[in-house]
Structure 1
């Protein structure tokens, strides 16, 4: 690989992580920013430039030392970027893209021209109460008032819920060019990191972002409780949006998931993004590797953007004490949960300032959440916040984080299922129970089974007697493994139930255990889940060891006391 030099406008935390990726490929990054900016702290050479990344003269000087110029922040002078591009120095992504995205209203108009779904937006002619009143009449209240330029991390946004908010909104944003956006009643905020290369557009998986005071606090990768169909639709929407722009590089695409599972683009960043930090630990190549490769035409394959293990990223946000970020990092290390900790070298912390982040990966999202709760408690304690559980307890009596769904056609099947439920409890596997008759409540049965996968259910145990259609019908509605438990009816030996569950047509498999044997169904479910959940796999191993010990203890007693004495003792105890 020829020695390449990349010019970078901005040396903040994104630049710091970009330099880390470049160092691994022996690519030099010449940074234009302040002397002790975070990125310069880890990059020592003579090619850096000191000054503002908005200074046209400094940008032009930087460009003369580079093979390509890129940005870690979009708030730059695009006039000079246009000039250096005309002089033969590539700017990636294109100055046209950066200029378009700098104006958030222009960005929305551009997306709408390409039939990309976004919230309805209206520019304000001025910054008066009369202008806000007109907007309210056009798109209704509430609406979001936004600055067209120089806005980030919620700064530059103001929710206008009624006319009583007009004065406060104008006081906060009145000195900026403004636009109003129709209120989006979303149930989740999603994000996709998109990579635009010379050959096409690729995408990382869809993630879920959780915000506090309009600042990203947590990122779940992949997004939780969202169907595979919606996750794929979000990727395709993000790719379609980025394809509308010019140039190469990584783009952060934020979007809203509405109550009807439709999607709206919120904003696009023409650079690596906070919602993509998880890629450093969770993916074969990070968003910073991908940005570097794309702007230098180094090949990237779609499979390199996959998530190897579920992960959660937590931003380290500053508190009132200058050393709060260091306190959080030190306590998190001492907790021993195996988090990857990134501090940005920003100096003193301030409330809400992004000082670093932590990422946890685990074989399952449930395990990642358990470990992340420890870090979240530490972070919120240092910041003086009341920590909330990542998975709040359910008030319905069902486990909110259920991994096994136990279903039956009739409550009369519950005595058969009780033994299996006891196993799930013993192995500490969260579960939920429902009556979902394939014959009497077919619509409810279909609705429940369809919803199981997005909610995190990993296995269904379905008990049925007689014609025993429930396991097969459940399997036809989901990709989750279904384990059928034949229930012995009041008349007959249950053979018809066994055969009904066993003889499923090709393409719709159902695992089948013996008649009334919910114990084996629960243990099989545990073994399936244990492939991803190490804690449950360990519990299954322990259960097997205890069973072995129980048998060997009886063998020892028989050897010492004789089979008849032990039989009498054990048989009497059973009675």
Structure 2
């Protein structure tokens, strides 16, 4: 971009690397302060970088002189120095925010002061006898509870689960030399995360995702989360916005939270920067978390629609295994999968548990993504030396098409169309939803359909045939009307009913009893955004062409009388 300001980044790891990838597309120069051959510097060659430690005060001063805005890719930085240089350069997010968030206990207390739900905690710093203090916490909170370091803690480092009183001496040995606090155990059902963008225009959010951790390190991210209602995801986004709204400064923030078994949400931790749980946005959203961070700190426009999910996605971290090239073997397997995008971080040789890269797989449905990524999950596990359990069962595909009918007597008419959907491997669901006998059920189904995996609805009905029209009035999804020939008027009444919908309530109507065309029209609608399905349709249409040409040649060779005789056999 013309006259773009220069951005300085404290830290040059994988987050800085992906930030530079986004910056390069906008022609924004990013100056990195980190060691000489850090992952971020490997993909950006200019003389604005600084070799050194992002905790070195003099190096931070030098970086500030070369930039218009300074940001971070890791919160464990010298906030005293950032406070000092803030008079000469813009620091985003604010050094005050970084200072608060880098101390996890202070972070939790600050959130509580602003009415944001967090797990109950106790300050243990300065306790004369840590073992006695931990036993007192055990009596108050019960077991298990979490012992956490206030600072310099990430990916499970600095955390210890105190499962019973016998664990107390070990907890002291492991973390006793750190500033500590204890936290009540959160009996959660799922771990969720929301990437939040704070900019000149307010606070926006990316979609809610589900995160799965292994050995306290994020292993998988599911977008959208599995088995979480739209109501809960909306609450999670609002909670994340409330939390980030309490802090100063602009940029992208990662908000991790617990979904408890009673559907209560508690904030677990906040990162004042792009986050592992937001990697999926590079492929799955129109604007990635990295582009959003740059736009926010540089006061560039961020269209809210750009933060929406384009299609379901799963992110798998490539964690170092037992061999030095384990990440390369995983990447080689991943590039054979058409929907998979591979990101390697340029870290050299793998070490067990080290984040070497990630894979994002997108698909029309989350179930399809789960099935396609499972072999890669198994490979990651095998590289870590983890024994594989029984072969994972294929996840049932979520329906893309809903076929609804007013009566089970319509099912024979639907058979041909359902077979077409099966032949094209399009997952579907078939339901009975009478417009007259079960109007409440039809309304409920229609109103909720758009919040599920369903993309198209086929409504079959005879007689007055109000079903597809009523469904269309309650949903934003495309509805295809299939008139069914009833005992009277040969289905013409149903055809007229569907085609004569009032303006503003369209129903795409096919011929009487023509469920084949209803299914093919649904496939064409899906194919507008699914190239794989469009290719299948092309092959099918080519088959039709071949068959017609074969019959034409046969007619020409045999003559019409012999051809007619053959047709009668």
Deviation at 1:213, TM superposition (A): 3.4
1:317 is displaced (CA, Å) by 1.0
Partner of 2:555: 558
8 Å CA contact 1:92–1:249 kept in 2: the answer is yes
Instruction: Give the Cα separation in 1 of the matches to 2:282 and 2:17.
Output: 13
Q: Deviations over 1:96-132 (max 9, x none)?
A: 101111222332333343344x334222446557756
Task: Name the residue aligned to 1:488.
Answer: 485
Where does residue 252 of structure 1 map in the other structure? Answer: 254
Cα distance, 1:427 vs structure 2: 1.5
Comparing 124-133 and 262-271, the one that deviates more: 124-133
- Aligned-pair CA distance for 1:191: 2.2
Distance 1:363 1:302, change over 3 A: same
2:202 to 180, 200, 203: 200
Q: Structure 1 residues 96 and 448 mapped into 2: Cα distance closer, same or farther (>3 Å)?
A: same
Q: Secondary structure at the match of 1:493?
A: helix
1:347-375, CA deviations, whole angstroms, 9 ceiling, x for partnerless residues?
Answer: 22122210112334567767755654554
Q: Does 1:189 align with 2:192?
A: yes
User: RMSD of the alignment, in Å?
Assistant: 3.8
CA–CA distance in structure 2, aligned partners of residues 320 and 163 of structure 1: 34
> 1:374-423 CA deviation, whole Å, 9 max, x = no partner?
544544443445679999546xxxx5322222333443332222221111
Structure 2: gaps spanning 5 or more residues: none
1:544 aligns with 2:541: yes
TM-score (norm 2): 0.83
Partner residue in 2 for 1:273: 275
Quickly say closer, same or farther: Cα 1:24–1:552, change in 2 above 3 A: closer
Conserved 8 A contact 2:19-2:290: yes
Determine helix, strand or coil for the equivalent of 1:547: helix
* Map of 1:114 onto structure 2: 114
Matched with 2:356 is 355
TM-superposition CA deviations, 1:205-230 (whole Å, max 9, x none): 44443433332233345556766666
**Structure 1 residues 442, 308: CA separation in 2 closer, same or farther (over 3 Å shift)?**
closer
Partner of 1:239: 241
Aligned partners of 1:119 and 1:184 also within 8 Å: no
Contact 2:334/2:359 (8 A) holds in 1 = no
Name which of structure 1's ranges 458-467 and 240-249 shifts more when overlaid on structure 2. Answer: 458-467
- CA deviations over 1:77-103 (Å, ceiling 9, x no partner): 322322332x53332211110111122
> Structure 1: which 5+ residue stretches go unaligned?
none
The aligned residue for residue 292 of structure 1 is 294
Deviation at 1:291, TM superposition (A): 2.7
* TM-superposed deviation, 1:428: 1.7
For the 8 Å contact 2:416–2:515, the answer to whether it is kept is: yes
CA distance in 2, matches of 1:324, 1:184: 34
State whether residues 190 and 209 of structure 1, in contact with CA within 8 Å, keep that contact through their aligned partners in structure 2. Answer: yes
**Which is further off, 49-58 or 124-133?**
124-133
**Is the 2:365–2:453 contact (alpha carbons within 8 Å) kept by the matching residues of 1?**
no
C-alpha displacement at 1:270, in angstroms?
Answer: 0.7
Q: In the alignment, which residue of structure 2 is the partner of 1:178?
A: 181
Equivalence map 1:41-190=2 (5 Å)? 41-44=42-45, 47-85=48-86, 87-116=87-116, 118-125=117-124, 127-128=130-131, 131=134, 146-158=148-160, 173=175, 176=178, 177-181=180-184, 183-187=186-190, 189-190=192-193
Distance 2:25 2:540 in 1: 46
Question: How far apart in 1 are the matches of 2:400 and 2:352?
Answer: 38
CA contact (8 A) 2:119 2:268 kept: no
The verdict on how the C-alpha distance between 1:327 and 1:547 changes in structure 2, with shifts beyond 3 A counting, is: closer
Structure 1 residue 245: deviation in Å?
1.0
Contact 2:365–2:398 (CA under 8 A) maintained in structure 1: no
- Asked if structure 2 preserves the Cα contact closer than 8 Å seen for 1:136 and 1:143, the reply is no
Task: Tell whether the 8 Å contact from 1:119 to 1:181 is kept in structure 2 after alignment.
Answer: no
| Whole-Å separation in 1 of the counterparts to 2:37 and 2:225 | 36
Distance change in 2, residues 1:521/1:326 (3 Å): same
Hey, what's the Cα distance between the residues in 1 that align with 2:390 and 2:518? 31
Rounded to whole Å, the distance in 2 between the matches of 1:520 and 1:148 is 63
| Contact preservation (8 Å) 2:456, 2:477 | yes
User: For 2:390 and 2:345, how far apart are their aligned partners in 1?
Assistant: 27
